[in-house]
Chains A and B, each alone.
Chain A
């Protein structure tokens, strides 16, 4: 049976890898979107800081492209791309013995290259290549894991970490990105609305899949349904929760965590997204994020403490159980 600490490290490794990949996608799409917006709409970079929840750590008052990018990519704070990759590597380092060797090598390479090329990432010219290569390397690592790792508890915790992080990041992206980009009075409101929802989808690499599944033009209601409730799109919160339900049910002592996951899934299914105004939507997302935090806390207590479901196992009791 897998060591509790190892399960926890694999879980965190997966979370950090997912976070790094999602951050890279987000920055890349944002950079493209900037090119389409009227000059002077700089808050768009500030939004990225808000998505990572790091407003308080952002020392500069200036939300210009350079300083935001430096913060998101190279910063020493635990929320930058470089920190995510570095934390993924630190977690991988401690579980090197349970993963195929190629995985460690790939994560190590990802870290070394990200560190080496971080300056290039700030410049307009080098940025695209840099971000694409981070995304590709994360995808490659996921591919190596899928192709070579035993389908044991380790792989289960890897996927649990990935889906929980993905659900969380998706919710953050919707949260920030759904706020209005441009003042209501602007004549060109509709055009930018479309651009905005398209960019939400693109941040999640969901534009094409949206078209395929929803068979309709880009509009708020359908995009929200797609991102919250789709069972087919692998980055939708609904999909992530369904996978979590399946994964958790294969583990011992899963009752409590599974109940918490069911609860979130029900909230998602029952939500009447079309009726949610912007502030209500944000409230709904806040609720979801509290739920994700709850799942994490339960995972820590039940699986990562190493003491199993019965939190304080009495020695005598233990003998009875094993005897």
Chain B
């Protein structure tokens, strides 16, 4: 049986493909019409060929669990793409650029004069309790004044149809390789559709990333030595590290491949001895970067790396300390930060957020735990959070205790009705919730990926889209209906 979109139940939510009257949105019409010609067998066949492509391409991610250690799982992928009209995307893109520009000015200010604190826009108390503020970085001038070169911001669309920023990932955001691989899979499986729809390409990212990194080189050279620093094959994002290195044609190094010599320069160990390194795209958290400066037990990092960075002999992307703005409490100040540094109104709004450190907000949150989503300030990957409506009484009581014990560490947000996209479930198409993670590159210019990584909660009604927690992903099509 083929799907009749009139019987596709959007259930009062915002569906990205089908409007509330059961009609395909204009930018998704070709796709919706095509899907409507397919019966369950054909849909399952498409799904099977996509799964085979993923298996053959070796697209994997690693999951940790206490019972099994680390397991390499295949990337769960849904064949129905998420479509966004180019006109809307242009706005979102402008909003993301604005946001990252302001965040970089903010980080640079925090490590220098702290004008925003002096002008009482941002509270000093917050800074002194920040887990990701690095005193080692005070006074540092990274190349071009940029700290967060690669940013991944999570966007969600609420049932009001508006896109909101849910969080900004400024430490080591991952997912961009899946964005690129999803497109490769779709081109294999949906080859006939690509000719008809005006789908904007995504393949530029690796060269843009390379240009961004090369622009940071401390030595003026045509071919700066750029490397990606990975924690190794057991890291959940190792696939991505290898993928990006391959796409950019640069070396993928581990901490043990690098050494800082007495001249405060970084070298890598090659088959003919040591060779100087100019730029490191590090996919290791600050605290593991350099056992001399941070966690002395870290075997992942490179002793002396901070020394080399502060001496200006090597560029690190993202800069150590950039994570200070990757904090869910700091997030609540981003609209103020944009107004303060750029004197502009924010283009994409934040999700309304209660800061548990404010007394009024805290009592509201504690009274409404069953309606709200509570998140710790410094976790990522969906860990350590509570979704009120889905939580048990016991979990709510536990979070009440956690919030009271450390209010600075918690924020709360309304449970959003994330928008949905038709998703293949048991041979038929059913709505499932999605979010979107675009990536923003900053160096001598700011560039945004075309669309982003659409993550989908594969379980019915679930709002958790993280791949580590049972989510999958979709290709994202930015379609120009006017061109």
Which A residues fall within an 8 A CB radius of B?
A: 1-7, 90, 93-94, 96-98, 101, 104-105, 108-109, 112, 153, 157, 251-253, 303-310, 313, 315-316, 318-319, 322
Apart from A3-B269, A108-B55, A316-B262: 10 A-B pairs, beta carbons within 8 A: A4-B271, A96-B242, A96-B243, A108-B58, A157-B271, A303-B271, A304-B271, A306-B257, A310-B273, A318-B261
For the complex, what is the distance from the CA of A101 to the CA of B252, rounded to whole Å?
A: 15
User: Closest Cβ of chain B: how far from A309's Cβ, in Å?
Assistant: 8
27 A-B contacts (beta carbon < 8 Å):
A1-B272, A2-B270, A3-B271, A4-B271, A5-B257, A5-B269, A6-B252, A93-B233, A93-B238, A93-B242, A94-B233, A96-B242, A97-B243, A97-B246, A101-B246, A108-B55, A108-B56, A109-B56, A157-B271, A253-B272, A253-B273, A306-B270, A306-B274, A309-B273, A315-B263, A318-B274, A322-B276
Interface centre among A5, A253, A305 (most CB of B within 10 A): A5
User: Closest Cβ of chain A: how far from B258's Cβ, in Å?
Assistant: 10
Asked if A3 and B272 sit within 8 Å, CB to CB, the answer is: no
Asked if B56 and A105 sit within 8 Å, CB to CB, the answer is: yes
Query: Residues of A contacting B275 with CB < 8 Å?
Result: 1
User: Closest Cβ of chain A: how far from B173's Cβ, in Å?
Assistant: 20
Query: Residues of A contacting B274 with CB < 8 Å?
Result: 306-308, 313, 318
Nearest CB to that of A304 among chain B residues? Answer: B271
Query: Residues of B contacting A315 with CB < 8 Å?
Result: 261-263
Other-chain contact of A98, B58, B233, B246, B254 (Cβ < 8 Å): B246
Asked if B55 and A5 sit within 8 Å, CB to CB, the answer is: no
Query: Residues of B contacting A104 with CB < 8 Å?
Result: 58
- Flag B257-286 by CB within 8 Å of A: 1 or 0 each: 100011100001111111110000000000
Asked if A1 and B270 sit within 8 Å, CB to CB, the answer is: yes
User: Closest Cβ of chain A: how far from B180's Cβ, in Å?
Assistant: 12
Asked if B243 and A112 sit within 8 Å, CB to CB, the answer is: no
Q: For the complex, is B256 an interface residue (Cβ under 8 Å from A)?
A: yes
User: Closest Cβ of chain B: how far from A64's Cβ, in Å?
Assistant: 34
Q: For the complex, is B245 an interface residue (Cβ under 8 Å from A)?
A: yes
Q: For the complex, is B57 an interface residue (Cβ under 8 Å from A)?
A: yes
Closest 6 CB pairs of A and B: A306-B269, A308-B273, A97-B245, A97-B246, A1-B270, A315-B262
For the complex, what is the distance from the CA of A108 to the CA of B261, rounded to whole Å?
A: 39
Other-chain contact of A3, B238, B243, B257 (Cβ < 8 Å): B257
For the complex, what is the distance from the CA of A153 to the CA of B251, rounded to whole Å?
A: 14
User: Closest Cβ of chain A: how far from B419's Cβ, in Å?
Assistant: 34
Asked if B271 and A2 sit within 8 Å, CB to CB, the answer is: yes
Q: For the complex, is B465 an interface residue (Cβ under 8 Å from A)?
A: no
Q: For the complex, is B253 an interface residue (Cβ under 8 Å from A)?
A: yes
For the complex, what is the distance from the CA of A310 to the CA of B273, rounded to whole Å?
A: 8
User: Closest Cβ of chain A: how far from B184's Cβ, in Å?
Assistant: 10
Query: Residues of B contacting A98 with CB < 8 Å?
Result: 246
Interface centre among A4, A97, A252 (most CB of B within 10 A): A97
Query: Residues of B contacting A3 with CB < 8 Å?
Result: 251, 253, 257, 268-271
For the complex, what is the distance from the CA of A7 to the CA of B271, rounded to whole Å?
A: 7
Query: Residues of A contacting B268 with CB < 8 Å?
Result: 3, 306
B12-70: which residues lie under 8 A (CB-CB) from chain A? Answer: 55-58
User: Closest Cβ of chain B: how far from A199's Cβ, in Å?
Assistant: 36
For the complex, what is the distance from the CA of A304 to the CA of B270, rounded to whole Å?
A: 8
Query: Residues of A contacting B271 with CB < 8 Å?
Result: 1-4, 7, 153, 157, 251-252, 303-304, 306
B122-179: which residues lie under 8 A (CB-CB) from chain A? Answer: none
Nearest CB to that of B246 among chain A residues? Answer: A97
Nearest CB to that of A154 among chain B residues? Answer: B271
User: Closest Cβ of chain A: how far from B90's Cβ, in Å?
Assistant: 33
Nearest CB to that of B260 among chain A residues? Answer: A315
Given A3-B251, A5-B254, A6-B251, also A97-B272 (CB < 8 A): no
For the complex, what is the distance from the CA of A253 to the CA of B272, rounded to whole Å?
A: 7
For the complex, what is the distance from the CA of A51 to the CA of B88, rounded to whole Å?
A: 67
User: Closest Cβ of chain B: how far from A145's Cβ, in Å?
Assistant: 15
Query: Residues of A contacting B254 with CB < 8 Å?
Result: 5
For the complex, what is the distance from the CA of A319 to the CA of B238, rounded to whole Å?
A: 34
Asked if B263 and A319 sit within 8 Å, CB to CB, the answer is: yes
Query: Residues of B contacting A310 with CB < 8 Å?
Result: 273
Nearest CB to that of A322 among chain B residues? Answer: B276
Nearest CB to that of B251 among chain A residues? Answer: A3
For the complex, what is the distance from the CA of A161 to the CA of B424, rounded to whole Å?
A: 46
Query: Residues of B contacting A101 with CB < 8 Å?
Result: 57, 246
For the complex, what is the distance from the CA of A1 to the CA of B273, rounded to whole Å?
A: 9
Query: Residues of B contacting A316 with CB < 8 Å?
Result: 262
For the complex, what is the distance from the CA of A46 to the CA of B111, rounded to whole Å?
A: 70
Query: Residues of B contacting A2 with CB < 8 Å?
Result: 270-271
User: Closest Cβ of chain B: how far from A295's Cβ, in Å?
Assistant: 16
B203-242: which residues lie under 8 A (CB-CB) from chain A? Answer: 233, 238, 242
Nearest CB to that of A2 among chain B residues? Answer: B271
Nearest CB to that of B276 among chain A residues? Answer: A322
Query: Residues of A contacting B273 with CB < 8 Å?
Result: 253, 306-310, 313
User: Closest Cβ of chain A: how far from B465's Cβ, in Å?
Assistant: 26
Query: Residues of B contacting A105 with CB < 8 Å?
Result: 56-58
For the complex, what is the distance from the CA of A143 to the CA of B271, rounded to whole Å?
A: 26
For the complex, what is the distance from the CA of A252 to the CA of B271, rounded to whole Å?
A: 8
For the complex, what is the distance from the CA of A6 to the CA of B245, rounded to whole Å?
A: 13
Asked if B262 and A307 sit within 8 Å, CB to CB, the answer is: no
For the complex, what is the distance from the CA of A160 to the CA of B105, rounded to whole Å?
A: 52
Given A97-B246, A101-B246, A316-B262, also A4-B270 (CB < 8 A): yes
Query: Residues of A contacting B245 with CB < 8 Å?
Result: 97
Query: Residues of B contacting A252 with CB < 8 Å?
Result: 271-272
For the complex, what is the distance from the CA of A202 to the CA of B246, rounded to whole Å?
A: 40
Query: Residues of B contacting A109 with CB < 8 Å?
Result: 56
For the complex, what is the distance from the CA of A174 to the CA of B74, rounded to whole Å?
A: 42
Nearest CB to that of A94 among chain B residues? Answer: B233
Query: Residues of A contacting B55 with CB < 8 Å?
Result: 108, 112
For the complex, what is the distance from the CA of A13 to the CA of B57, rounded to whole Å?
A: 18
